[in-house]
Structure 1
Amino acid sequence: DAVVHLAGENIAARRWSDAQKARIRDSRISGTRLLVDAVRSGSRKPQAFVCASAVGVYGDRSDEPLDEDSETGTGFLAEVCKDWESETCRLDNVRTVQLRFGVVLSPAGGALAKMLLPFRLGAGGRIGGGRQWMSWVALDDAVGAIHHALFTDELQGPVNAVAPQPVTNSEYTRILGRILRRPTVLPMPSFAARMAFGELANELLLASQRAVPKRLQETGYVFARPDLEGALRHQLGH
């Protein structure tokens, strides 16, 4: 038996008001606490408890390579992720894994789905200076990482669920434009991103996290989509 907990309010659904930030936090912390309490009070313990987290736990870290031994960071998302992960640490005698997901790529939803229309219209471009690192993972490998966490007994604690080849925002923009055969010459300046999205821009669009999947690879996980261009072509059918 195992528990897999992935639920939480979409962090990019809308501009962050105080109420939205409370929903983002409470949906993660309260939901995890409820499940942990249920496991602790139950007579039959699962063999594993796998809980989602995010590379946002590292904060904005420029081009520093980040593995699971790196220090956590500061900021709203970093604090939410730290508290989220801490809830699972209350479990005794149950193997717990906190999967720190990067941006999960799928045309059915999330960041990629939101980018497709402007890019297809030729209105895509880098955000800010474009030097910020983006840790991503193909949907296939996000599912694969969950499966690996469930069935790999030596895997415990934080695990970066990201592809082994992170890219900068400029690289991502150029690759997506090339696949869609559209120009990417309309950048969004940092000030415009902040005006449009407020605090969300600083923590999601302009923050830099260059995470690497050290623990996944050490325990034998083989990525189906290790490079961005191959992953996007597969997802978009190009």
Structure 2
Amino acid sequence: MRVLIAGASGMIGTELSAQLTAAGHEVWRLVRRRPTTDSEFNWAPAARMVDFTLMERVDAVVNLAGASLSRLPWTKAYERQILSSRLEATHTLTDAMRMAGRAPAVFVSGSAVGYYGDRPGQKLTENAIKGTGFLSDVVAAWETAAHLAPEKTRVITARTGVVIGRGGAMKPLLPLARLGLAGPIGTGGQHWPWVSLHDEAAAIVHLLGASTLSGPVNITGPTPATADQLLRALATAAHRPYGFPLPEKVVTLALREAGHELLLSSQKVIPEKLLADGFTFRDATVQDAMNRLLRAV
């Protein structure tokens, strides 16, 4: 396949590009600077500008573009950027697909488990209804924009949680664990949907080629874990003590809405569609993912 990626320079995009290339596929990248190789193409999503003829020359498009959720605090201005950056990128891509004489066969658009909101005690498959809150509203609008792709294009919205890799949510947590400062956040009993970076990219590769799935797909590890289990696994992999608590009141006071949405919400998300589709996770438990991460850094 020839795959066009928006957001290829990020943590997930870099791993995805590597896995696609290793599998013999050709990767084209959308960049916001001057292109430096024949496989890079300029775009300006804020201005809705991209060469629509690119869509006629690729088999698939992956959209990973959007302002980082881990940049804190979430001011009102930054919340607007979180939403607008996702909608601008997605609309730019789907507009170009509709203008093309031949649209790509498949479109994988980034999404998030934030769609489900705070749902303690519930098992959340792709059939679960929308939750409430800022991120739930952002994700719903983001997914709606993705489905503006042409009818002949198979659209997947990849609902992802905490990606365990060298960046993202792990960037601030890893140094704390190495200092022996990892511990329960709030009660620690809230479920944090997680997936290893390798499996995140491998799932997208699977969805692009071997699969016929469409619509929302949960890309989360097959064994759900609580925040306490995830952070304890990180401390164990780092060979450091665990138990330095971060009370819920401190999280709420320091981070406000972002603290509740990112750290205190509970989402027991199950990758039902991927498992039924025959996808095999390399990292079956959060401890597997953490051990592999710590061996790599």
Structure-1 separation of matches of 2:211 and 2:185: 40
Q: What letter is aligned with 1:98?
A: T
1:37 equivalent to 2:95? Answer yes
Q: Secondary structure at the match of 2:169?
A: helix
Percent of residue pairs identical: 39
Residue 95 of structure 1 aligns with which residue? Answer: 154
1:104 equivalent to 2:163? Answer yes
1:51 equivalent to 2:123? Answer no
Q: What letter is aligned with 2:161?
A: G
Unaligned runs of 5+ in 1: none
Contact 2:211 2:277 in 1 (8 A): no
1:231 equivalent to 2:296? Answer no
Structure-1 separation of matches of 2:63 and 2:215: 15
Number of aligned positions between the proteins: 237
Structure-1 separation of matches of 2:234 and 2:211: 37
Alpha-carbon deviations, 1:44-102, whole Å to 9, x = none? Answer: 11000110100000000002110001111110000000000001222222100000011
Which consecutive segments of 4 or more residues in structure 1 shift more than 6 A? none
Deviation at 1:113, TM superposition (A): 2.0
Structure-1 separation of matches of 2:267 and 2:82: 20
How is 1:1-238 mapped onto 2 (pairs within 5 angstroms)?
A: 1-91=59-149, 92-106=151-165, 108-237=166-295
Alpha-carbon deviations, 1:166-203, whole Å to 9, x = none? Answer: 11111112222222121122110001011111110010
Structure-2 separation of matches of 1:217 and 1:122: 36
Q: What letter is aligned with 1:105?
A: I
Q: CA RMSD in A?
A: 1.1
Unaligned runs of 5+ in 2: 1-58
Structure-1 separation of matches of 2:85 and 2:208: 23
Structure-2 separation of matches of 1:49 and 1:178: 38
Q: What letter is aligned with 1:145?
A: A
Q: What letter is aligned with 2:229?
A: E
TM-score by length of 1: 0.97
TM-score by length of 2: 0.78
Deviation larger for 13-22 or 114-123: 114-123
Structure-2 separation of matches of 1:132 and 1:98: 24
Structure-2 separation of matches of 1:123 and 1:88: 40
**Which fold has the larger relative contact order, with Cα–Cα distance below 8 Å and residues 6 or more apart in sequence?**
1
Q: Secondary structure at the match of 2:258?
A: helix
Structure-1 separation of matches of 2:197 and 2:91: 27
Deviation at 1:153, TM superposition (A): 4.4
